Amino acid sequence: MTPRGRFFLTVGALALIPAIVGTLSYRLIAIWSAPRKRALASRSAAAVAADSVFWRTFHGARYDEIQPALETLTQAYLATPRDATTAAHIGWLHIWRIAESARLDAAPATITEDMRLARRFFDEAVRLDPSDARKQGFLASALMGEGQIDDDQRLIRRGYFTMLDAIKAWPAFNLFTAGYVVSLAPAKSKQFAEGLAWEWRDLDVCAGERVDRVHPDFSKYMGRITDARACLNTWIAPHNGEGFFLNMGDMLVKSGDWRTAQQVYAYAKLLPEYPTWPYRELLAARLRDAEANVARFNGRDPDRKTGMMGRSVFACMACHQQ
């Protein structure tokens, strides 16, 4: 092409810039000026009824009834798609199904879609109710889970920093969530070490002071815990404390510190709801087999009933089953 031809081509391209910029500006203005989706001021009767279905399924450990429960909740969501609670409940059912897929004789490859759907509905719940740090923590978990499935480091990092924000918003709740998420990472990895440190920090938050890492006598704190969801049981999580101590004990065993793990496991017995916890026999086995479990938890243990909490049939139910 001659210099004259290149000149006219350049001039022609430059002449198109205002039109291109104008089109882009119009699109951006059109998108950003659209009404923002906001949560409903009040909930519908159908949404409240769907809540009952969710809790009956979840608290009852009715894993086989997840799909019909999802159908009921999704119907309620489609009727009122600005209900943050319904969106979050749908997210929890999806993450429960994949978290406890060890219950299935053979989990299908498509069960990974539950992680994507969990992320999608937690994202919606957080958009509608950004004040709820619990939802933010579960969104972070789903982002990291989806990123691991897709080998997408950008998504994993987005999830990680979302989790840090969730920890800052509510340390007592999300330090547990954050540690649990990385409990299956290799014991020598930075991720696992940080996760175990988060669990210790959560104990500190529960206690109101730094807990001794070698001889952690937690019994003296049990009567004065007031706002530490990881170490207390509530209607939402009837055995949250027992599940926290079970997971932290498992992580300590995996790290090789099985003697400290035995002390942490035993804290579950201090909770007043412990006599009704469905996993008391499992805890007794953990206390008895702590040393032997160091190798098991660092290997590829196929036992879904007695393996680490994070890959077991009680991954969610250790905290939530009534």
pLDDT digits (tens, 9 = 90+) for 198-216: 999 999 998 889 999 998 8
- What mean pLDDT is predicted for residues 226-239? 83
Indicate whether 175 belongs to any domain: no
Q: Which of 112, 138, 169 is the last residue of a domain?
A: 169
Indicate whether 22 belongs to any domain: no
Q: How sure is the predictor about 7, in pLDDT bands with cuts at 50, 70 and 90?
A: very low
Residues 303 and 237 in one domain: yes
Question: Residue 126 sits in a domain of what CATH number?
Answer: 1.25.40.10
Indicate whether 137 belongs to any domain: yes
Indicate whether 48 belongs to any domain: yes
Question: φ, ψ for residue 81 (rounded to 5)?
Answer: -75, 10
Residue 3 has pLDDT above 60, yes or no: no
pLDDT digits (tens, 9 = 90+) for 142-188: 999 999 999 999 999 999 999 999 999 999 999 999 999 999 999 99
**Of 189, 305, 205, 286, the residue nearest 247 (C-alpha):** 286
Of 192 and 11, the structure prediction assigns the larger pLDDT to 192
Domain that holds residue 98: 42-169
Residues 200 and 111 in one domain: no
Indicate whether 31 belongs to any domain: no
- Burial-class residue 59 by CB neighbours within 10 Å (0-12, 13-18, 19+): middle
Contacts of 42 (CB under 8 A, 6+ apart): none
Residues 239 and 268 in one domain: yes
Instruction: State the pLDDT at residue 8.
Output: 42
Instruction: State the pLDDT at residue 95.
Output: 97
Residue 47 has pLDDT above 60, yes or no: yes
Angle, helices 133-150 vs 153-169, to 10°: value is: 160
Domain count, the chain: 2
